[in-house]
Structure 1
Amino acid sequence: MSTRTKIVIGGVAVGFLTLFIFPWWLTALIILGVLAVPVVGYLALDPSQRKRVRAQSRKRLNG
Protein backbone atom coordinates (compact mmCIF):
# COMPACT_ATOMS: atom_id res chain seq x y z
CA MET A 1 0.00 0.00 0.00
CA SER A 2 1.40 3.38 -0.98
CA THR A 3 1.94 6.25 1.43
CA ARG A 4 -0.71 8.30 -0.36
CA THR A 5 -3.29 5.53 0.13
CA LYS A 6 -2.50 5.35 3.84
CA ILE A 7 -2.97 9.11 4.16
CA VAL A 8 -6.33 8.97 2.36
CA ILE A 9 -7.56 6.11 4.57
CA GLY A 10 -6.45 8.03 7.66
CA GLY A 11 -8.23 11.15 6.45
CA VAL A 12 -11.47 9.26 5.88
CA ALA A 13 -11.19 7.70 9.35
CA VAL A 14 -10.65 11.12 10.95
CA GLY A 15 -13.61 12.47 8.95
CA PHE A 16 -15.90 9.76 10.30
CA LEU A 17 -14.55 10.30 13.81
CA THR A 18 -15.34 14.01 13.65
CA LEU A 19 -18.91 13.15 12.64
CA PHE A 20 -19.39 11.48 16.02
CA ILE A 21 -17.62 14.20 18.03
CA PHE A 22 -18.81 17.43 16.39
CA PRO A 23 -22.15 18.47 14.87
CA TRP A 24 -22.54 17.54 11.19
CA TRP A 25 -22.31 21.14 9.99
CA LEU A 26 -18.98 21.68 11.74
CA THR A 27 -17.64 18.46 10.23
CA ALA A 28 -18.79 19.65 6.81
CA LEU A 29 -16.97 22.97 7.32
CA ILE A 30 -13.79 21.16 8.36
CA ILE A 31 -13.89 18.90 5.29
CA LEU A 32 -14.61 21.84 2.97
CA GLY A 33 -11.72 23.76 4.52
CA VAL A 34 -9.33 20.87 4.01
CA LEU A 35 -10.38 20.63 0.37
CA ALA A 36 -10.36 24.39 -0.22
CA VAL A 37 -6.81 25.10 0.99
CA PRO A 38 -4.98 23.37 -1.91
CA VAL A 39 -7.47 24.76 -4.45
CA VAL A 40 -6.97 28.33 -3.25
CA GLY A 41 -3.21 27.79 -3.18
CA TYR A 42 -3.24 26.56 -6.78
CA LEU A 43 -5.43 29.45 -7.93
CA ALA A 44 -3.07 31.91 -6.23
CA LEU A 45 -0.23 30.88 -8.56
CA ASP A 46 0.69 32.81 -11.68
CA PRO A 47 -0.22 31.15 -14.98
CA SER A 48 3.44 30.30 -15.62
CA GLN A 49 3.72 28.67 -12.19
CA ARG A 50 0.55 26.66 -12.83
CA LYS A 51 2.05 25.47 -16.09
CA ARG A 52 5.17 24.29 -14.25
CA VAL A 53 3.04 22.45 -11.65
CA ARG A 54 1.05 20.70 -14.38
CA ALA A 55 4.23 19.76 -16.25
CA GLN A 56 5.74 18.37 -13.05
CA SER A 57 2.69 16.22 -12.33
CA ARG A 58 2.70 14.90 -15.92
CA LYS A 59 6.37 14.07 -15.56
CA ARG A 60 5.60 12.03 -12.43
CA LEU A 61 2.83 10.14 -14.20
CA ASN A 62 5.01 9.21 -17.19
CA GLY A 63 8.11 8.13 -15.39
Structure 2
Amino acid sequence: MSTGTKIAIGGVVVGFLTLFVFPWWLSTLIILGAIGLPVAGYLLLDPSQRKRVNRQARKRIGS
Protein backbone atom coordinates (compact mmCIF):
# COMPACT_ATOMS: atom_id res chain seq x y z
CA MET A 1 0.00 0.00 0.00
CA SER A 2 1.38 3.39 -0.91
CA THR A 3 2.10 6.11 1.60
CA GLY A 4 -0.60 8.34 0.13
CA THR A 5 -3.19 5.61 0.52
CA LYS A 6 -2.21 5.06 4.15
CA ILE A 7 -2.56 8.78 4.84
CA ALA A 8 -5.97 8.91 3.16
CA ILE A 9 -7.22 5.91 5.15
CA GLY A 10 -5.87 7.47 8.35
CA GLY A 11 -7.71 10.69 7.56
CA VAL A 12 -10.99 8.85 7.15
CA VAL A 13 -10.45 6.93 10.41
CA VAL A 14 -9.70 10.17 12.26
CA GLY A 15 -12.81 11.65 10.67
CA PHE A 16 -14.93 8.81 12.04
CA LEU A 17 -13.36 9.19 15.48
CA THR A 18 -14.26 12.87 15.48
CA LEU A 19 -17.93 11.88 15.31
CA PHE A 20 -17.75 11.35 19.07
CA VAL A 21 -16.05 14.70 19.78
CA PHE A 22 -17.37 17.28 17.29
CA PRO A 23 -20.81 18.00 15.82
CA TRP A 24 -21.85 15.62 13.01
CA TRP A 25 -21.55 18.26 10.28
CA LEU A 26 -17.92 19.05 11.15
CA SER A 27 -17.05 15.35 11.17
CA THR A 28 -18.74 14.95 7.79
CA LEU A 29 -16.64 17.80 6.36
CA ILE A 30 -13.45 16.18 7.66
CA ILE A 31 -14.36 12.80 6.14
CA LEU A 32 -15.34 14.33 2.79
CA GLY A 33 -12.12 16.36 2.75
CA ALA A 34 -10.02 13.26 3.40
CA ILE A 35 -11.72 11.49 0.51
CA GLY A 36 -12.18 14.46 -1.82
CA LEU A 37 -8.72 16.06 -1.76
CA PRO A 38 -6.85 13.15 -3.43
CA VAL A 39 -9.64 12.78 -5.99
CA ALA A 40 -9.56 16.50 -6.80
CA GLY A 41 -5.77 16.39 -7.08
CA TYR A 42 -5.97 13.52 -9.56
CA LEU A 43 -8.64 15.28 -11.61
CA LEU A 44 -6.48 18.42 -11.84
CA LEU A 45 -3.72 16.51 -13.66
CA ASP A 46 -3.29 16.77 -17.42
CA PRO A 47 -4.21 13.64 -19.42
CA SER A 48 -0.50 12.88 -20.02
CA GLN A 49 0.21 13.17 -16.30
CA ARG A 50 -2.71 10.84 -15.51
CA LYS A 51 -1.32 8.28 -17.95
CA ARG A 52 2.07 8.50 -16.23
CA VAL A 53 0.48 8.00 -12.80
CA ASN A 54 -1.52 5.01 -14.06
CA ARG A 55 1.58 3.45 -15.67
CA GLN A 56 3.50 3.77 -12.41
CA ALA A 57 0.64 2.21 -10.46
CA ARG A 58 0.53 -0.75 -12.86
CA LYS A 59 4.32 -1.23 -12.55
CA ARG A 60 4.03 -1.38 -8.76
CA ILE A 61 1.20 -3.91 -8.90
CA GLY A 62 3.26 -6.31 -11.02
CA SER A 63 6.38 -5.99 -8.86
Shorter-normalised TM range: 0.7 to 0.9
User: Structure 2 length as normaliser, TM-score?
Assistant: 0.77
Letter in 2 for 1:51: K
Counterpart of 1:61? Answer: 61
Trace 1:1-63 onto structure 2 (pairs within 5 A). Answer: 8=9, 11-12=12-13, 14-63=14-63
| Alpha-carbon distance in 2 for matches of 1:10, 1:37 | 11
| Alpha-carbon distance in 2 for matches of 1:10, 1:40 | 16
- Deviating above 3 A after TM superposition, structure 1's stretches of 4 or more consecutive aligned residues are 6-11
Deviation at 1:40, TM superposition (A): 0.7
Could you say what the CA RMSD is over the residues aligned between the two structures, in angstroms?
2.4
Match of 1:31, SS?
Answer: helix
Deviations 1:3-62 (A, max 9, x none): 86x7646852x2332011101111011100111111110011000000000000000000
Letter in 1 for 2:62: N
In structure 2, stretches of 5+ residues that fail to align are none
Q: Count the aligned residue pairs.
A: 60
User: Structure 1 length as normaliser, TM-score?
Assistant: 0.77
Answer 1 or 2: higher relative contact order, Cα 8 Å, separation at least 6: 2
